[in-house]
Structure 1
């Protein structure tokens, strides 16, 4: 029976692409580079801000990453100010979270966004009542797609990994959940398409947050029926 849902943040719970693109384009502007459109950023995101800045610089012509170290500092300075810029929960997310909480499903966030900004984003959009654990990128935990963060999160919640769903919108998330031994859900409303998600063979690919509720209920029914038999 599924007892826990671990969610990616950007592109899964919240649409933050405007904040990401705005902050990164401000960073590029400092060096006379950019700007880059939002659709391109949907490809760049998923592996943490350091990789995002690297990809953006190379895309704009800084092939040898002359500005890289300074750009990381600049990005973080801008992001502290603009991390909530037009960030919104996707339709149906809050209702889905409310259902999970009401039905005693543990709920966590595991993001490659810097840890403090992850907490700020989650609390700024959802408040404090839903999530049992919130983790962003931290120096002492390997960044996704390494499954370490997902495994640690499950352990801290007292849930076996086989009783967890991992939910995300990118190849990074598919690798993370599968690597952690969790049934993994790819969501199509985020930053990548169905074809890319399916290529990594997650357990499920869904188009609407309500399908998470259906998956949990169907799984529970199958277990109950097997017990009865």
Structure 2
């Protein structure tokens, strides 16, 4: 078996977290008398961390550093309490994880979401599957920087070439390419197929269980 481990993105790949994220940022925006956004618009903001999402969500006239920081802190406070209210695993994910575990494939999560929130969601929804659940610890290591992915590969004891990297965004495909992992783009997430292909997807899947064919 060529691939011995799978590294998953979180939002848009394992879980649909759009509603919880949107509800939190819109509540904070509303409290500050700023315009709120539809789920469709916030969908396009997801992928580069919550601070970046906050920056995109603020009005153009209020993107100064002080406003970004205060809004981000308020968003974190709200989202920390509500990040698992309506966030659910996508159809087929639990079955996929069961199959991978039965084959002794090592599993890990890497997200651009803050580390504490990634761990809370990952370990709440998937308590018995992942060897490592890692979120963003510093802006310097944000995906597509491959440093965290390479760290995970070392911790699990496999070369990066032995990993499938599964994600729903161009940033994920870039991360996989930068880490020398096999880039698998998923079509049930937040980004279109064109973006995944353009950014280097080596495989495209329409349903979680299709990942098993790559093994």
Q: Which interval holds the TM-score relative to the shorter structure? A: over 0.9
**Structure 1 residue 141, shift from structure 2 partner:** 6.5
Paired residues of 1:141 and 1:149 also in contact (CA < 8 A):
no
Q: 1:115 to 1:54 in 2, by over 3 A?
A: same
**Structure 1 residue 50, shift from structure 2 partner:** 0.9
Paired residues of 2:35 and 2:59 also in contact (CA < 8 A):
no
- In structure 1, distance between residues paired with 2:34 and 2:194: 32
Q: Which moved more, 1:118-127 or 1:83-92?
A: 118-127
Q: 1:55 to 1:155 in 2, by over 3 A?
A: same
Aligned residues: 214
Work out whether 1:17 is the aligned partner of 2:18: yes
- In structure 2, distance between residues paired with 1:24 and 1:213: 36
- In structure 1, distance between residues paired with 2:55 and 2:139: 22
Q: Could you tell me which residue of structure 2 aligns to residue 133 of structure 1?
A: 132
**Structure 1 residue 30, shift from structure 2 partner:** 2.0
- In structure 1, distance between residues paired with 2:98 and 2:30: 41
- In structure 2, distance between residues paired with 1:58 and 1:156: 42
Unaligned runs of 5+ in 1: 217-229
Paired residues of 1:15 and 1:88 also in contact (CA < 8 A):
yes
Paired residues of 2:17 and 2:88 also in contact (CA < 8 A):
yes
- In structure 2, distance between residues paired with 1:96 and 1:81: 28
Work out whether 1:4 is the aligned partner of 2:5: yes
Unaligned runs of 5+ in 2: none
Q: Could you tell me which residue of structure 1 aligns to residue 180 of structure 2?
A: 181
| 1:2 counterpart SS class | coil
Which structure has the larger Rg? 1
Paired residues of 1:141 and 1:148 also in contact (CA < 8 A):
no
1:144-164 CA distances to partner (integer Å, 9 max, x unpaired)?
111111111101100100000
- In structure 2, distance between residues paired with 1:140 and 1:90: 28
Q: Could you tell me which residue of structure 1 aligns to residue 75 of structure 2?
A: 75
Q: TM-score, structure 1 length as denominator?
A: 0.90
Q: TM-score, structure 2 length as denominator?
A: 0.95
Task: Please give the residue correspondences for 1:54-69 in structure 2 after superposition, counting only pairs within 5 Å.
Answer: 54-58=55-59, 61-64=61-64, 67-69=67-69
| 1:184 counterpart SS class | strand
| 2:25 counterpart SS class | helix
Paired residues of 1:31 and 1:67 also in contact (CA < 8 A):
no
Paired residues of 2:160 and 2:180 also in contact (CA < 8 A):
yes
Q: Could you tell me which residue of structure 2 aligns to residue 109 of structure 1?
A: 109
